[in-house]
Chain A
Amino acid sequence: MADGIEPQDKILLGMYGIDKSFLGVPVLQDVQLECRPGEIHAVMGENGAGKSTLMKILVGVYQPDAGRIELDGAPVRFHHPRQALAAGVSIVHQELNLLPERTVAENIFLGREPRRRVGVDRTAMERDASRLLAALHADDVISPRALVGRLPVAQQQLVEIAKALSFRPRVLVLDEPTAALSPHEVDALFDRIRRLRADGLTVLYISHRLKEIFDLTDRITVLKDGRRVDTVRTAEVDTRRLVHLMVGRDLDHYYPPRATPERIGEVRLSVRGAGAGMLHDIDLDLRSGEIVGLAGLAGSGRTELARLLFGATRMATGRLEVDGRARRLRSPRQAIRCGIGLLTEDRKSEGLVLQLSVRDNSLLAVRALGRGPTRRVGLGALLDRVDLRGSTAREVRYLSGGNQQKVVLARWLATGARVLIFDEPTRGIDVGAKASIHELMRELAEAGAAILMISSELPEVIGMADRIVVLRQGTVAGVLPADASEAEIMLLATGEPDRSGVGVGAVADGGAA
C-alpha cells in the first residue's frame, strides 16, 4: 500500500477494517481511512463505491458491522450523531438539513440553544451565530435573524457549514458541498475551507468533480465497489491515474455501440424557444433511434427540463411538437398519452409506490390511462424485455436499485412510450446492473425510441450518447458530437476555460446503496 504515511505523522482520525452490509449486500468491505491533523483529505469513488456510507458510519448515522474507528489514537464508537458531534466530528450532508421556517441562528444552535435562567438567550445566540458566520466571511450577507427558507441555496449551504462549525469540530466532513453552487461561489467556499485548514481543522472532502479535488485537497483516498483502492498524495497523481484508480478499467468497455447514422430516424419530440421558471429559449430535437445525452452542472436546469418535457411543469413560452403535431402538455397524463415516459432521478420518492408490487408498479401508468380493457398488456413479456426475473408479487421496496429501475422502465414499455427521458438512470445502481440498463437503453433506441439521458457522470454521457446537449443556467449552451471529451463538455457547462488543463470529470456521485 503506497500510503505515503511517514511513521512520524500523527493520525488524527483512523477508520480500520470497516465492513457494512445492507440486507445482505456488502457495501463496504475492510475499508481503511487515515487523516492527519490539518489536512484536506478527499474521499473519491464511483457511484455506489460507498463514500457516503463510510461517512455516515463515521458520524454515527449507521453502525459498522465490523471494524474500529480511532480519534487521536483512542477507539471511539458513535451510536448517535450526537455522540460524534460531541467528540468533534461534524458533517455537512449532501442534502441540506435545515428547517426553512426557522431563523439562521435557530437552525445553527438547534439542540444547543444558549440559556439564560429559564429561557433561551436569543441575544447571545444571535451574537454567536454572527461570529460563526463571520468566520466564514458570510456575516455581511446572512443575518442570523433571516428565515432559512428565504435564503438562496448557496447561503443555506454556508448556514449548514456554520452549524457544523458551531460544534467546534476537529474533523469536518463535507459531502458534495458544491453540487448546487456556481463557479464563483465554489471559489469563495474553497477560500473559506483553506482558511479553516489554516486554523488546524481537518477536512474530509467528498466530491465528484476532479478539478475541485486537485484544487483543494492534500491527499485522496479512492474507494471502489466498497473497498479502498489506495490513498495517494494529490500532488503525486494526475487525472488519468486517478480515473484509473476509481474505474479500474477502460471506460469504453462498458458501453454498447453507438447508433449508426442510418438508424437515426425522424424527429419524435421537438421544442422551440421553450421556457418556464429558470429555463429559457430552449431548442431541442429528439429523434427516433438516437440517444441524446443531456449534461450540465447541478442547478443548470437539467431536471427542470425533463419535467417540462413531461408536462409536470407547464411551459410558459415556446412550442412543443410530438411526431410533428403541436401539443400543449398540461399534465404528465397528457404527456403519457402522447407517448412520453419519464424515469425520475429519485426513484423512491417520485418513481415508485414502494409498498406496491412489481406488477402494480409496472402496470401503474397503463391502468391510469384507462384506454379500455381491449389493450391487454402481457406482464410476463414486459418483464422479460427488461430482463427482470422473480415473483411479480414482491413489493418493490425489497428490490435492488437496478431492478427498481427496470420496473420503472417496464412501466413505460407498457404504455408503448416512444420518447423516453432518463434522469440519472444509473444513480445508486451497482456496476453489473448499470451495464444491463445501458444495454436496454440502446436496445430501446434501436427499436425506434427517442431517448434523452440526463447524467451528471460525464463518462456515462460520453459513453452512451449519440449527441450531447449541454445546459448552462437554464438554456442550451451548445451541442457536441458523440466523441466529445469531458473537457469540452465542462467548458460549455461552466462557460469558462478549463484552467488546470486536466479533464474535469464528474466521474462519481454520492448515492450510497
Chain B
Amino acid sequence: MTVTAPPPATAAPERSASRAWRLLRAVPPIWLVLAAVIVLIAWRNPTFVEPAPFLAFLRRCAPLAVLAAGQVFVIIAGEFDLSVGALVTAVVVVAARLSDGDAGNTWWLIPLLLAGGALVGLVNGLVTTRLRVPSFIATLGMLLVLSGAVFLWSGGAPRGSLADNFRQFGRFGVEIPGLGQLPYAVLILVAIGVGLWLLLSHTRFGHQVYAAGGNPRAAGLSGVDVRRVRTAAFVISGLSAVVAGVLLGGFTGVTAEAGVGYEFQAIAAVVLGGAVLGGGRGSVGAALAGALTLQSVFTLLNLLGLAKSLRDAVQGLIIIGAAAYAAHRLRRSG
C-alpha cells in the first residue's frame, strides 16, 4: 500500500504506529474541531452531553446540516446555490397556507413540496448549464423570484398554520425508555446524511460529481454528461432545502423570515468542512460536521455570555480562518 515503495519488510510495530498516525491525519480536521468545541461546551455546562440536551442540540442543528449536505453537491460540482434560503422560507409559507392546520392535508403536502423543491433545483440547473448563466446569478435570480412569488401568492404575510402532524417532524420524537425523546429531526438528519453520503461517495453519480467539478473538460472527454450531473446536483440541493424547511417550520413555527441567511450559512458550513469553492473537493460528512461545528460554536458563545449579535462576527472569523487553512493546506501539498 505504500506510495513510494520503500524496502518491503519494515518492522511491524513501527508500521502500525505510522498507520495509526496516518489514520488520524486522514480524519478531516473539522471533526477534531467539532470535538474540541463540544468538550469546551461540556466543560462549561456538563449537562450538555447528557442524552436529552444533546439530542435537543442535534435537533436544532438538523435544518442547517441537511442544507449543508445538499449544498455540498453543488459546490463540489463547481457551482453555487444561493436560492436555498428563499426556498426554505417558501416551503414554510406555502406549507402553512396549504396545510391550514388540517392534519388530513399533510400526506399530500409533503410530496408536493418535495416536487416543488426538485423543480426549483431543475430550473437552477438548466438555467446554469443550458443558458450558461453563472450559477451565482442564476440562483440569485431564483432567490428573488421565489421570495417575490411566495409572498405575492400569500398576500404579503404568512397565512394559515401548520398541522400538528406536519410540525411533528421538527418538534417531536419517538419515546425511548431510559433515553427520553429521540427527535424525528435527528432521525431524518441521520437518514439523509447517510443517504447523501452513500450517493456522493459510493455511486457512479457521486464520482461524476467530483469529476465534473474537478475538471469539466476532462470529465466531458471521458463521457461524463457534465451538464446533467450539475443539474442533478442542483436538484439535490433543492430537495434538501425542502426537508430543511419542513424541519424548521415544525421547530420554529411559521414566519416570513424562516430561511433568511441560510444560503450563506450553508455555504459557510460546507467551506468549514474543507470544500473548496470552484469544485472538486469536499464531502457530505465534513459538510455535516461543518454545520454541527457552526451551531455548537453558537451554543458555546451563548454559554460564555457573549451578545447574540456577536455570533455573526465570530462566524465570519471562523469562515475566514477555515478557508485560509484550506488554502494553506492545498498550497503545501502542491
**Chain A interface residues toward B at CB < 8 A:** 23, 310, 312, 331-333, 336-337, 342, 344, 349-356, 360, 363-365, 367-370, 389-391, 394, 397-398, 411, 415
Contact = CB atoms under 8 A, between A and B. Distances in A.
B280 A353 contact: yes
Given A333-B223, A364-B211, 5 more contacts: A332-B221, A350-B221, A369-B223, A391-B3, A398-B3
For the complex of A and B, list the 3 residue pairs with the smallest distance between their C-beta atoms, beginning with the closest.
Answer: A353-B214, A367-B204, A368-B223
B281 interface: yes
A390 B223 contact: no
A312 B224 CA distance: 12
Contacts, number: 85
Contacts of A368: 204, 208, 211, 219, 222-225
Interface string B85-101: 00000000000000000
Given A364-B224, A390-B5, A351 B218 contact: yes
A411 B2 contact: no
Contacts of A365: 222-223
A332 to B, nearest CB: 5
Interface of B: 1-5, 204, 207-208, 210-211, 214-215, 217-225, 280-281, 334
A390 B3 contact: yes
A365 B221 CA distance: 9
Chain B contact residues, majority secondary structure: loop
A336 B280 contact: no
B281 A355 contact: yes
Contacts of B222: 332, 336, 364-365, 368, 411
Residue of B222, B224, B225, B281 with most partner-chain A CB within 10 A? B222
A360 B224 CA distance: 13
A23 B4 CA distance: 13
A332 B204 CA distance: 18
A199 B145 CA distance: 66
Contact of B204 (A336, A370, A390): A370
A352 B217 CA distance: 9
Nearest to B208: A368
A354 B223 contact: no
Nearest to A337: B223
A332 B223 contact: yes
Residue of B207, B210, B214 with most partner-chain A CB within 10 A? B207
A369 B223 CA distance: 7
A158 B281 CA distance: 41
A394 B217 CA distance: 21
28 contacts: A23-B334, A331-B225, A332-B222, A333-B224, A333-B225, A342-B221, A344-B218, A344-B221, A350-B215, A350-B221, A352-B215, A352-B218, A353-B210, A353-B280, A354-B214, A355-B214, A355-B281, A356-B210, A363-B207, A364-B218, A364-B224, A365-B223, A368-B211, A368-B223, A368-B224, A370-B204, A390-B4, A394-B3
A391 B2 contact: yes
